[in-house]
Amino acid sequence: MSREEIFHSVRLDESKCKGCTHCIRRCPTEAIRVKGGKARINEERCIDCGECIRTCPNYAKYAQSDPLEAIKEFKYTIALPAPAFYAQFKFTLPLSKVLSGLLKIGFHDVFEVARGAEILAEEIKCYLQRRDIVKPVISSACPAVVRLIEVKFPSLLENLLPLDSPLGVVAKIARLEAMKKGYRPREIGIFFITPCPAKVTEVRQSGDDLARVDGAISMSSVYSRLVNELATIEEVIHSQMAGFRGIGWARSGGEQESLGPGEYMAVDGIHHVIAVLEKIEVGELKEVVYCEAQACVGGCIGGVLAVQNPFIAKVNVNHLLQKYNFYAPIEKTHQAEWRKKGVFLRSKPYEAKEVMRLDRDLHRALEKYQTIEKLVEKLPGLDCGACGSPTCRALAEDIVQEKALEVDCPFLLRNRMVDLAVEMYELASKVPQTMIKEEEGKKVGNQNS
């Protein structure tokens, strides 16, 4: 079903990687090891959050996305700008100009993901009314958080909102509309303008049917093309439909604002998200109905493919919310039709990845756990990363999984060398009997007795 099951947008440029250990310690799923002087990403564990891209001092980590030229392969192309895209521009610039600019650089139509968020918000409201939900319901908008839960918190899969992201919703609506205009599915190219690598991965796995998104172009590359065009745009050729409710999704807190009054919470930054998920896992936060969780600090405006500093972008968002303080209600007939066509359904069910388990066999897994415990006691506990694993415990796991050696730890290696030196010294002081001089023989005579 999915086009590329194991695809990751976060990549390594080996020529730039110096094998320093900044990234391995920042990775929330301990997916990176330094081997042979280069960082290696474990594809099963990587959640495409982009933390390593942020932290790499050598710009060796990057997010792979599609070039703008990719739209030329299609007869009819639709741009789906993320709400965070609006925040990249000075708030004095009318959004209709930005959208018109997208048509100028080659797209045939624009569907706002922010409008998709408004449509989805109505559906979320309905879902939260249900009695069988497991609280708190966790937002499915951030694909890095969804994958984090699949990898590290599988028991919370039942809390995940079983609805598609604003991107998924608006992509399906855009395709339906284009088909109504008479275009055949293969002629339609739908492109997301993405703030982050996690969304690139979501796009690559979007399936081959109605849910298909044909590419993800980075916000930064569209921005640089658009900036030059903006000055030349006189007439508005595309009006904007999304108001404050949808635009607010650009930053943390926007989801809950679009849902109206209720018990909600918002958490942003992947390490903060982990701390909150741990609380939910032990049964806290049951009074919270909806939990908005975003991997990037500040929400989508904090994505690594954004141009603007996230805090400045936040100022822009706040101004935009005041400026576009309107909401175009969604017609019930439309909502019903979309529901019927499966616009809100996810193309792929959530699944536990179980990459944390040590062995397929439970006995073996627990044996390995005990070996790890013993190794952890032996290791220095400095979590220095010099071995190439993020922590001493991670090295112990790697040793047990036969992916590393004890002597990869420079401290254990040094201990072994000291032992060896002592042994060498002892051996060196043992002289063969034939070589013992009479005088010395008296001194060392007892050594072989």
Partner 1 sequence: MPEENPLVEMEREIVGGDFQRAGDVSSELKNILQQAGFPAPFNRRVVIASYEAEMNVVIHAYRGIFRVQIYSDRVHIEVDDEGPGIPDLELAFQEGYSTAPPHIREMGFGAGYGLSNMKKCSDRLHIDTRVEEGTRVIMDFFLPSFMKG
- Length reported for the chain: 449
Residue with tokens 């979501």: 202
Q: Minimum Å distance from CB 369 to partner 1? A: 6
- Cα separation, 112 vs 170, in Å, equals 7
Q: Which is nearer to partner 1, 360 or 430 (CB)?
A: 360
Contact between 329 and partner 1 per CB under 8 A? no
Q: Is 157 in the site for partner 1 (CB under 8 A)?
A: yes
Q: Is 186 in the site for partner 1 (CB under 8 A)?
A: no
Tell which one of 263, 359, 383, 406 touches partner 1 (CB under 8 A): 359
Collect contacts of 372-377 with beta carbons under 8 A, ≥24 apart. Answer: 372/396, 372/397, 372/400, 375/399, 375/400, 375/406
Q: Which segment (57-65, 215-223, 262-270, 354-362) binds partner 1 by CB under 8 A?
A: 354-362
Task: Rule CB under 8 A: say whether 365 interacts with partner 1.
Answer: yes
283 binds partner 1 per the rule CB under 8 A: yes
- For residue 358, state whether it binds partner 1 (rule: CB under 8 A): yes
- Distance of alpha carbon 335 from alpha carbon 153, whole angstroms: 32
Considering the rule CB under 8 A, would residue 349 count as an interface residue with partner 1? no
In whole angstroms, what is the distance from residue 167 CA to residue 193 CA?
10
The reply to whether 363 sits near partner 1 by the rule CB under 8 A is: yes
Binders of partner 1 among 375-394, rule CB under 8 A?
none
Structure tokens at 348: 């792929």
Nearer to partner 1, 134 or 420 (CB): 134
- Shorter beta-carbon distance to partner 1: residue 297 or 358: 358
Question: Rule CB under 8 A: is residue 362 a binding residue for partner 1?
Answer: yes
Q: Is 354 in the site for partner 1 (CB under 8 A)?
A: yes
**SS3 of residue 269 by DSSP:** coil
CA distances from 238 to 137, 317, 346 (A): 36, 20, 29
Q: Is 325 in the site for partner 1 (CB under 8 A)?
A: no
Strands 38-41 and 61-63: unpaired
Position 240, amino acid: Q
Binding piece for partner 1, criterion CB under 8 A, among 107-115, 241-249, 337-345, 358-366:
358-366
**CA 404, CA 312: separation in Å to the nearest integer?**
44
Q: Of 110 and 148, which has the nearer Cβ to partner 1? A: 148
Rule CB under 8 A: say whether 315 interacts with partner 1. no
Residue 196 vs 289, nearer CB to partner 1? 289
Which residue, 36 or 283, is less far from partner 1 as judged by CB? 283
Nearer to partner 1, 236 or 352 (CB): 352
Residue 101 CB coordination number (10 Å): 26
* SS3 at position 228: helix
Kindly tell me which residue out of 3, 43, 59, 155 binds partner 1, with binding defined by CB under 8 A. Answer: 155
Q: Cα separations (Å) of 12 from 52, 59, 63, 111, 420?
A: 10, 9, 9, 32, 39
Tokens linked to 67: 């070039």
Query: Scanning the structure block, which residue is given the tokens 């179980």?
Result: 354
Q: How far is the CB of 73 from partner 1 (least distance, A)?
A: 42
Q: Which is nearer to partner 1, 362 or 444 (CB)?
A: 362
| Paired residues of 62 in beta bridges | 11
| Spatial separation of the C-alpha atoms in residues 268 and 294, rounded to whole Å | 5
Instruction: Tell whether residue 374 is a contact of partner 1 (CB under 8 A).
Output: no
Residues that bind partner 1 (CB under 8 A): 154-155, 157, 278-279, 281-283, 352, 354, 356-360, 362-363, 365-370
